[in-house]
Chains A and B, each alone.
Chain A
Amino acid sequence: MTQNDDNVIDQPEVLKPRMVTIEISGKQYTVPEGITVIKAMWYAGQEVVRGVGCLGGFCGACATYYRTKDDPKVKTCLACQTAVQDGMSFTMMPPFPARKAIYDIRTLQDPKQDLFNLYPEAPLCRNCNACTEACPQKIDVREGVWKAVFGDFQSVSDMFMDCVMCGMCTPVCIADIAPNFVALYVSRAQGAHFAEKPRGLEARIKEIEEGRFDDEWNRILSMNEQELTELCAKVK
Chain B
Amino acid sequence: MNIHALQQIVHQTRDVRRKQTIPRLSPADRDQLIHKYHPDYRASAYRPLRFGPNEGEKTVVELATLLEGDSPLGDHVDLTPHHQADVLVIGGGGAGCAAALHAHEAGAKVILATKLRLGDSNSVMAQGGMQVSVAPEDSPVTHFLDTLRGGHMENDHHLLKVMVEEGPSIAKWLIDLGVLFDRQADGNLHVKKGGGSSKPRLLTCSDYTGLEIMRVLKDEVINRRIQLLEFCAAVELLGDGDGACTGAVFKDLDNQQYVVVAAKAVIVATGGIGRLHIQGFPTSNHYGATGDGLCLCYRIGAKLSHIDTFQYHPSGAVYPEQLVGALVTEGIRSEGGHLVNARGERFVNELDTRDVVSSSIIRECEEGRGIRTMSGRVGVWLDTPLLDAEHGPGTVEKHFPAMVRQFERFGIDISKEPVLIYPTLHYQNGGVKIDTNSETGVKNLFVAGEASGGLHGRNRLMGNSLLDLMVFGKRAGLTAAARAGSMKQGKLTLKHLERFRAEAKKHGNFSGVISPMILPAYTRKT
List residues of A whose CB falls within 8 A of some B CB: 1-4, 6-11, 13-15, 34-36, 39, 42-50, 52-59, 61, 81-83, 100, 102-106, 137-138, 157, 161-165, 184, 187-192, 195-202, 204-205, 208, 213, 216-217, 220-221, 225, 228-229, 231-233, 235-236
Contacts and interface: CB of A to CB of B under 8 A. Distances in A.
A58 B125 contact: yes
B1 interface: yes
Contact of B183 (A34, A54, A196): A196
A4 B121 CA distance: 40
Contacts of A35: 321-322
Given A162-B208, A200-B136, A235-B149, A195 B373 contact: no
Contact of B178 (A8, A57, A189, A201): A189
Nearest to A188: B178
Contact of A198 (B141, B161, B175, B525): B175
B374 A15 contact: yes
Given A10-B2, A11-B374, A59 B198 contact: no
B1 A10 contact: yes
Contact of A59 (B119, B326, B371, B522): B119
A187 B177 CA distance: 10
Interface stretch (B166-174, B429-437, B472-480): B166-174
B285 to A, nearest CB: 8
Interface in B141-172: 141-142, 144-146, 148-149, 153, 157, 161, 165, 168-169, 171-172
B28 to A, nearest CB: 10
B48 interface: no
Nearest to B377: A9
Contacts of B180: 157, 161, 187, 190-191, 195
Interface string B182-206: 0100011100000000100000011
Given A232-B153, A235-B145, A161 B205 contact: yes
A191 B188 contact: no
Nearest to A202: B172
Contact of B373 (A8, A34, A47, A49): A8
Contacts of B131: none
Interface residues on B, range: 35 or more
Contacts of B205: 161
Contacts of A2: 367-368
Nearest to A84: B322
A184 B215 CA distance: 8
Contacts of A213: 139-141
Contacts of B287: 52-55
Contacts of B2: 10
Contacts of A165: 215, 218
A104 B223 contact: yes
Contact of B409 (A82, A105, A163, A199): A82
Given A8-B374, A13-B321, A204-B168, 20 more contacts: A1-B367, A8-B371, A8-B372, A9-B372, A11-B374, A45-B525, A49-B231, A49-B519, A54-B121, A57-B406, A59-B117, A103-B223, A162-B208, A165-B218, A198-B189, A200-B188, A202-B172, A204-B134, A205-B172, A213-B141
A10 to B, nearest CB: 6
B187 A197 contact: yes
A54 B125 contact: yes
B265 to A, nearest CB: 25
Nearest to A52: B287
Interface in B494-526: 519, 522-525
Contacts of A52: 116, 287
Given A10-B1, A187-B180, A102 B210 contact: no
Contacts of A164: 211
Nearest to B233: A49
Contact of A195 (B157, B175, B322): B175
Interface string B116-141: 11011110110000001111100111
A224 to B, nearest CB: 11
A157 B180 CA distance: 8
Contacts of B119: 59
B374 A192 contact: no
A205 B322 contact: no
A58 B319 CA distance: 19
